[in-house]
Every structure is written in structure tokens, then in C-alpha cells.
Structure 1
Amino acid sequence: MHSSSLLPDPAVYQPDTLDLNTDEKAADYWFKCFRDMVAKFAKVAVKSQEEDQTATQRAEQFQAAYLQRLEEHQRNVPVNKGKVILGTSELLKLNETLLRRYGFADPWLRQKRLENASAMARLKQRLQELDALADEDTRWTELVRGVLAGNMFDWGAQAISNILEQDSNFGLHSALDRIEKRPWLLDNLDSWLNRLKGEPHKCAVVFVDNSGVDVVLGVLPFVRGLLKRGTKVLLCANSEPALNDVTSEELRSLLDDCSRECEVLEQAWSQGQLLVYANGQTSPCLDMRTLPKELCDAIAANETDLLVIEGMGRALHTNLNARFGCETLKLAVIKNKWLAKYLGGEDMFAVVCKFEPAAPS
């Protein structure tokens, strides 16, 4: 276990936001939610291997195994109450573990490739739109909104997959129209804009989420904004596939392609001002205690002073309440009505934009 310099005290770090063993309302909601979700994932798994005669049977086995484990977790709630934390991260991780066990290494692969290609074709235009905004605050507000809107493109969220299945033209601009208007549910945007008037950060470590619109049209323009300020950027993506999240391997090849569309990215990518690391995770969540040594070393060596965590799995299901050893920006759109209400929001697509100073060491 490698703890990076981002954690002031690894012993007190608790990534999970919810504990289903002690929070009855949360347990009622999420156990049902995961039961419904696994049926959908089984369908995706079959579709990803249509040419394989055994796919349907394996997907059924995956679903049965998942439901059985879910039952066990639910039965053990009274036993584990107050002893073991059961976060939604555990149930999301279980999904990926069992998909692999039954021979579905990356069910969303085809989807990811389509979405990456389609988003890449729009990158240049998006950068031109952003560069046309002369006012610094307006531009950074739009960069943050872009990350949030990009984060809507998440096939793991029922509400979104419904929209994407029904409307093939749903793109970044449609998403920008759908996210909550300010003031957001958690809104520290003004503090972030204020911080940008000060010294540039030395190095930012950015944990990314979904493929396609999210990473290409949301995160990369934001990262380019940091690079233009002279900040070095370490982009961290999943070590293994999880839902439609981009993997570090996919991200490297995406950057080869995207850097052809933009000089700033091209220069940073070729000169090592922009680097990609695997984050050691095999699920859509993020546990900072399990970052690979290589990444921890890079975080320390580059004197990282900004942490950016994006997306529901990494910034809401995990890390929402965790404090870190450097300035932290957590960005996510809540694509789940129950969770939005639980966190005090009204709106389905409520926004979390949480900017925090470094925790005292």
C-alpha cells in the first residue's frame, strides 16, 4: 500500500461517503439500485460479445453471482454495523470483478471507441469557442462548466443512459443546458476563480472519469487552461476498465490524437509537461491508499500542489468528505435523484464544485 503525499494522515483517511451498514435509508435505496443495474450490465456484456455463443450463459452467471453477493452483504448488515464500512464503492468494484471473472474484460470497449472518435472531431471547435472568451473569469467558468457537462456522459448512470439511448445528438452543448444553474448545490467556483488570480500551481494531479465527451471536450480544455498558466499536469486514469471510464492506456493514445488538434497540448505532451499515469484502480471509485508507487513518486517529485478529482465515483461515492494535503477541486454532476436529495439538492443534475485549501498537516 503506497500512500501519497496527498494524504496528510493515511490512518484517518476514509474514502467512502456512505456506509450502507449504518445508514438504513441509503442501504434501502442502493441495494435496490444495484439489483436493477446488474440486469442492464448483463445486457451490455452479452452485446459486447454477440459473436460468442457462450456470452448469454456467462452473463446470466455473472448476474446470479452478483445478486448472491448483494444478498450476503445485505444479510450481514446487522452483524457488520459499526465494525466494517460498506460503501457503494464496494458494490461498484464487485460489479467489475465479477464481469472479469465471467469473461467480460471490457464490455464498453466499442462504445468508448465510438465516443472518443466523435468527441475528438469536435475538439478544435470547442477550443476555439473557449479562446474567443476574452474575460479570464468567464473563460474559467466555462472551462469548469465544460468539465461538469462532460461528466454527464456516463453510461453507469441510468438517467443518462436513457437520454443517450433516445437522443443520438445529445452532445456537450445539450449537456451544458441541462446542468443545474448557479448557485450550485456545492458552489466554491468563486473561490477557485479567485485562486487563479494568484501564483500558478506548480503541478496538478487530475483524476479523470469517462471516455468521449467527458475526457476530450470537458477535461482536456480544462487541463490546457492549467498548462497555459505554466502548471505541469499529471493525468490519472484507471488501470483496468470500469464501465465507460477511460483507461490510462486509452488515454495515452487519445492524447497522441488530440495533440494534433492543438499546439498547447502538442507541446506539453511532447515535452513531458503533460503526463499520463495509471491510478491503480479497477473500479469507478478512487481509494488514495492504493495508488501505484510510480504515481506516488511522481506526485512527490513534482511538488504537486493541486488535486483535481472529477466524477461521481471518484468525487462523490468516494472522497467527497476527505481532506487532502494540497488544494483540492472536486467536480461532479449528480446523475442520481436520490443522491442529489440526500446531499441537500433539489435538482436531478445538481452540481458539486468543491474547492478546498490544503488540510493542515
Structure 2
Amino acid sequence: MDTAQRNIDFHRLVRDAPLINHICFDACSKTVKIIYSSTVPLSHTTLDRKRVDTEKSEDRIYCIQVQYPDFPLILQFFGDTCPLLKGTTVDFVVTASQNAEIEEVIRKALDVKLRHVEAFTGLVNGTSFLLRNIEAESFTYSFDESQKYEFQTLNTESIYPYLLINIRTGVSVVLVDGPNKFQRLGGSSIGGASFLGLSELITGVNDIEEMMDRALKGSPEEFDIFIRDIYGDRAANFNMDPHLLAASFGRVTRAQTIRRAGEFDDQSKNNAILSLLRMVLYNVSQIAFMLSEMSNVKRVFFNGFLVRNRPIVMKTLSFACNYWSGGKLKACFLRHENYTTGLGAFLEGCPNADMYWKEYCSGSTALGRFVPVEPLETGFKTQTFALKCARFKAAPFCLLVDKDGKPDAIDFNTDDEARDFWIQILDNTIAQLTELAIASQSGCPDQEDVISRAKDFEHDFVKTMDTIKEHHVAYGNSNARNLLEVREQILQEKGFDDIYVQKKHEEKLSAVSELPTVLASIDKLKEAGDEKAVVEYVSRCLLAGNVFDWGAKEVVKLMSSEEGLSFQSAIERVENRPWLFDGFDSYYKKHKEYKSVLIFVDNSGYDYILGVIPFARELLRNGAKVIICANTLPALNDLTYREMIELAPELKKADADLAKFIDSEQLMFVQSGQESPCLDARRVHEDLNTVVQKYETDLVIIEGMGRALHTNFNVKFKCDTLKAAVIKTQWLADRLQGKMFSVVFKHELGTK
């Protein structure tokens, strides 16, 4: 292969290479993990359809795993293309026995100094970092035949304490009590090396991948003794399962002859490897259970090269932990556990380590070993994991009841019909989004570049959807929220930060001009003295505004038709009461009692200006403090925090009352920290919690299909909530036993 082609290939693997400012190497026995960071400048799509550089940037962390034979090529590429590294000090983690040679190679290739980091420190810090930041980092694996992954999201409060069982050459058990607070409790000499050594000694097989493949085909009956072999039918008298393992390789002592490795046929090799694997893992699991009991820890994570998302290993550990603990202890695993040590070491020199880092799916391969990795042009395979820094601290929304509970109304990991429907919907919109992306930057002088980037988006998103079709747990939880967020990430990666920016602006101008008329209609109703009619009208405005959604296929047809879709016609489309979910009377009964109201808004333009603002205005007139919360970054045609702030002067011009409320800060604006059409309240901007706690919010309003139906529909809050949306897809209407444009106006009392 020529040098030019190789460099193109490496640039695909080593993203943002010229901007790398810090790097760490984790040298293991057969692989090297490379963790590095880059500060990437961000661009912005303007209203005149151009793409311009901004003064803002985004910090990203990339993790790469390569085999030792391929490491010199990668290292040479770093040396040639990463000028910011020259002369710096980089982190080096020693997790292999002989590293002097590779250390010298790194020094010469990069012209750097090495700083050694203690492996256990990196292991613990990296694990805690992943659990704190990455959604669905932790998972359990079923020990039956279903091969089911159950993903968890943990917040900072619920992570600690935990046990970390590291199955490498031997076994180490670490108790982690808090950030930078851990101690080694014990371990065992019977670990990964024991399995590898004995497997090779007995069967002659010396490759771990072949061992795992053979174990899957093996049966323990040839070598192991079970309870039934000892007690027969009397096993039930002792309350023991006759199928339980009694003695690993115990049957060998009953054999008339002892066979040597060369005498094993293929099936016997498979059986021996499986029996060895079970022997090691049962021993590890028993140690894990005993130490968890001694330290009163309920959560145990297994990692190390023997685990690595291998189904047979996870299944065995899950079964053994369940057995030893009587069902009290579940074995937990990590999606990115092979990067924990290197990542933790890297973070010691990272200035933003305490900020919120999100999984950057656009720069990551799928769930570890679960999805096969395609070889690069250079011929070797590698895995990557990427994160991006949100540059703020995140925490669970302070009014959530279950801070670790999933927000999604439908779990695509368990609902095949829902997953297939959503993937089909997204597949059908790819061409349209590609056209929108090109149109949003039609003012750029280099249209070939715009089209090329848009086609790259189309290719990458199709590839991602194909991966999820084949392996629905490829990126952890599969749901509408994550699928939409992955799509936005790929668009942003290709330089399309906001493909709806022009449509949002046009709709904003139209809505602002219409706002005085809508407010005048409300004031006229108010003069008539029928307060309930006023509250119902502004509720219908709230719902009518939600009809305007460029992310809903049926609505796009209406808005793109010759007649268009006016706000008045949208109000008329709101069905008469009783609604599908009708909590209006409950809300009306309490609406004057609320003193502090938080509103999560949905779409820009008509939805916000003619829907949310009139509704909020009535609450403000009742004396309530109103806090409106919008996305931090663009997603579809959703309102962003920046756009909301820029709109405030326009609202003040449109209405004297709004001007008074904004100037006095009775009406406030805050950002959610989100960048999705849905709402995951388990990770919100720290400013949001600060404001909500300061003003003692007693009503949360969640508006829109993405935030109130696809997510949070079943989520419980400590205070009262109002979940409002118009159903704009036939499939969801059928699921909820409604019809197109059915209304959800769900008023729920808080748990306090």
C-alpha cells in the first residue's frame, strides 16, 4: 500500500490528529490502548446559508486499541502528524511485564518524556469516570439462553460503594468507596493466566479467541462431577440442585486411563476448555460474593481481558454470582472496560475531568466485541471509543424520584416492533435530511465540499442504522432518544450544526408578528370573566403550538402544502375535550396554587412563541415565577437556549406584561444541557438544578412528543407535573389507543 493511502486510512482512525494536545499509552500483554485528546474548533451555519468558524471549540477524548504488530505504524503516524505533542510529557501505564522496549520506541517516535501512572489508580478512576458520565455504561447479562443485556445508568450518588473484580493474570478485588478512595481487599492467583496456561497445557490450544469459541461448543459432562453423580435421587433431600457442579475435573479421577493433550479429539478439547473456564470463574465469583458480604457492597463490576464482553464468560459469572448470593448479587459489566486503566491515567492530566463527558457515537465503534470490527485498508482491525466534553457539570434533575430510572417510554431492546418502526422512519428520512443539510449551506462558495459532507453523513448514518438492525444493543440502550441523538451527532461531525436554522428563523418572524393578535384574543376572553375558558384556551394554544413540528411526517406534509398550516387552523385541529389523556380539570383546580413553574419547551417558532408564551403569561399573571428551559445545542427544529435569549427583546416589544415579567426576572430562561428532541432528566445542566432549588419549583411542565411521550411519560417527579403533547404519528396513536392529533394533557401530583 502506498503512503498516501495509508495516511488517508489513519486519518479515519486517528481523528483530529493535528490538534492532539495530550496522550496516554496503556501497554498490555498483546495490545496497546492509546487515549488522546483534541480541542476541535466549531463552525456555525448562518442565516445566509454559509458555514463560518466560531470562537468556540469542543474538547474530545478518543480511545484506540491496536495489536502490538500494528503499533509502530500508528506511532509513526502520530509522530508525523501531531506537532503539539513534541517535547511534552505523556502518560504511560504499565500493565504488561516487559515494556522497556516499547517505552523507548514511544520516546523516539514522538520526542516526548514518559510519566508512569500506577495501574490501579488508572483502573479505579477510569471506571468511576465511565459510570458517572456514560449512559448505559453498566449492564447485566442473563444467565439463561436469552442472552439478554440489561443496561443501567448510574448517577454520582448511587455509584459508590462498589467492588471492582479485575480478572487479568491473577484476580484483584478493589473496594471503591468514593472518588479517589479505594483499597485492595484481596484476590486470587487463579485468574486469566491460569485459564490460558492450563488450557494450553491440556489441549494444546494457545489462542484465547479459539479457546472461547471452543468453550461455546463444549459440554462439562466429560470432565466434571455434578451433585447428581454423588447423591443421585437423594439430592432433593439436601435441597440441592442435582445439576450443580460438585467437582471440576473430578470425573478424571474415575477414568481408567489418563489421556494426554495429543490424545484429545476436538470435542474433548472443547469440553476441557469449558470445564477450565467454569472452574476459574466459579472461584472468582465466590470470592466476589464473600468480599461483597464482608464489605456490605451491593454492586460488583467484573473486568479484565478474560471478560471483554464474551457471552460465555458473562453468563457464567452472572449465574455463579446469583447462585452464591441466593439472588441478591448481580454481576455487572462495563461496555468500555478495556479502556478503563488508560482512560483513568489520562484523566489525571485532563483539566476538564470533572465536567460532563458524553459518549460521542459518531467517533466510536459499537459495543466492544459484540459487533465485529471491519479491517482498515492497512489490513488490521481496531476499536475506537470517543467522548466529547459538554463543558458544564451535570447531575440528575433534582426533582426526579428515581434518579437512575430510564426516561424512555418504550425500550427498543425488548420491543422489536417499535425498534423496526423507528428504524424504518429514520431510514425514510435520510434522503430528506441530506437535502436539508445541503440547502442549509447553499450559500457556501465550495458547494462540492457541502455535497460531499452531506453524502458522508448519509453514508455514516445508513451504516449506523444497519449496525443497530443487526445488533440492537450495539450502542447500549436502543430507544427513540438515542437514535435521534446519534443522527444529530453525525450531522454535527460532518459540519452541519443546525440544518433547520433558516426554517426556525422564518417561523420565528411569522410567529412574533402574530403574537399580539393571539394575546389580544386571550385578553378579550379574560374581560368576559370566564376564567376557566381562558385557561382552556391557553391550554389549547399550548397544544396547537406543538402541532408545528418539522420532525413529524404528517405535519411536514401540512406545512409544505399549498394552503400551509396557520396557527388558527392548528388550534382547530386540537380535538375537543374530553382528550385522550385529559387532566385539564385537575390542572385547573390547582393552577393558581403554583408559585414556581418550570417549563421544558419543544419546538422553535409557533410552538414556543404562540403556544408556550401565552400559557406561561397566564401563570405569570397569577403571580407565579416561571422558568423556561430549552436545549443547550440544536436538534431538529427545537428551540435552543441561545435562540430563546435572543427572542426575549422581541417578546418585550410584543406585550407590555411580558416586558414587565422579563425585566423583573419573574420570567427567567435557563438551559437544560440537552441536545436531543427528547429529555433525559438523569443528566441536566447544573444551572437548571440551581435555579429550581433556589425558587422551590412546585410544577414542572414538559411539552412535546419527544419530551412528554417518547420520554418521561411514565417518569415520576417529586412535584406536580403537566405533560402536554399532540400525537403526530399514527403508530404512536395506535399504541396509546388514540388517533392522529389526539391530545395528551396529563396532570400528575408529585410524590411529596
TM-score band by shorter chain is: over 0.9
Cα drift, residue 25 of structure 1:
1.5
Indicate if the aligned counterparts of 1:311 and 1:331 stay in contact, CA closer than 8 A: yes
Indicate if the aligned counterparts of 1:208 and 1:311 stay in contact, CA closer than 8 A: yes
Aligned match of 2:486 = 94
Q: Does 1:344 align with 2:737?
A: yes
**Between 160-169 and 211-220, the greater mean CA deviation after superposition:** 160-169
Structure 2 residue corresponding to 1:209, chosen from 602, 608, 614: 602
Aligned match of 2:163 = none
Indicate if the aligned counterparts of 1:155 and 1:161 stay in contact, CA closer than 8 A: yes
Cα drift, residue 169 of structure 1:
4.3
Aligned match of 1:316 = 709
Q: Does 1:260 align with 2:644?
A: no
Q: Does 1:170 align with 2:565?
A: yes
Deviations 1:64-110 (A, max 9, x none): 11111111112113x67xx9531110011011111100010111111
Amino acid at match of 2:692: I
Structure 2 residue corresponding to 1:330, chosen from 698, 702, 723: 723
Structure 1 residue corresponding to 2:537, chosen from 115, 118, 142: 142
Q: Which protein is richer in helix relative to its size?
A: 1
Deviations 1:171-228 (A, max 9, x none): 11111112233221111111111122x52x1211100011111101110000001100
Amino acid at match of 2:534: R
Aligned match of 1:273 = 666
Query: Equivalences for 1:1-361 in 2 at 5 Å?
Result: 1-11=394-404, 13-52=405-444, 53=447, 54-77=449-472, 84-133=476-525, 134=528, 135-167=530-562, 169-196=564-591, 198-199=592-593, 201-345=594-738, 347-360=739-752
Runs (4+) of structure 1 moved beyond 3 Å?
A: none
Cα drift, residue 26 of structure 1:
0.8
**How far, CA to CA, are the matches of 2:408 and 2:519 in structure 1?**
35
Cα drift, residue 322 of structure 1:
0.5
Indicate if the aligned counterparts of 1:171 and 1:213 stay in contact, CA closer than 8 A: no
Secondary structure in structure 2 of the residue aligned to 1:288: coil
Secondary structure in structure 2 of the residue aligned to 1:151: helix
**How far, CA to CA, are the matches of 1:90 and 1:224 in structure 2?**
33
Cα drift, residue 291 of structure 1:
1.0
Cα drift, residue 259 of structure 1:
1.3
Cα drift, residue 308 of structure 1:
0.3
RMSD: 1.4
Deviations 1:292-335 (A, max 9, x none): 11111110010000000000111111101101110000010111
Secondary structure in structure 2 of the residue aligned to 1:234: strand
Highest relative contact order (Cα 8 Å, sep 6+), 1 or 2?
A: 1
**How far, CA to CA, are the matches of 1:318 and 1:66 in structure 2?**
23
Indicate if the aligned counterparts of 1:4 and 1:299 stay in contact, CA closer than 8 A: no
Indicate if the aligned counterparts of 1:46 and 1:59 stay in contact, CA closer than 8 A: yes
Secondary structure in structure 2 of the residue aligned to 1:6: coil
Indicate if the aligned counterparts of 1:326 and 1:358 stay in contact, CA closer than 8 A: yes
Number of aligned residue pairs: give it: 353
Q: Which protein is richer in strand relative to its size?
A: 2
Indicate if the aligned counterparts of 1:227 and 1:264 stay in contact, CA closer than 8 A: no
Aligned match of 2:234 = none
Amino acid at match of 1:289: R
Secondary structure in structure 2 of the residue aligned to 1:117: helix
**How far, CA to CA, are the matches of 2:423 and 2:654 in structure 1?**
44
Deviations 1:132-186 (A, max 9, x none): 1131111111111101110011101111111111145421111111223322111
Indicate if the aligned counterparts of 2:558 and 2:564 stay in contact, CA closer than 8 A: no
Segments of structure 1 that go 5 or more residues without pairing to the other structure are none
Segments of structure 2 that go 5 or more residues without pairing to the other structure are 1-393
Amino acid at match of 1:190: D
**How far, CA to CA, are the matches of 1:318 and 1:167 in structure 2?**
33
Residues 190, 167 of structure 1: CA spacing in aligned structure 2 closer, same or farther, 3 A cutoff? farther
- The normalised TM-score by structure 1 is 0.95
Cα drift, residue 275 of structure 1:
0.9
Amino acid at match of 1:255: A
Deviations 1:35-59 (A, max 9, x none): 1122211111111011331222211
Amino acid at match of 1:212: G
Amino acid at match of 1:14: K
**How far, CA to CA, are the matches of 2:736 and 2:460 in structure 1?**
31
Secondary structure in structure 2 of the residue aligned to 1:72: helix
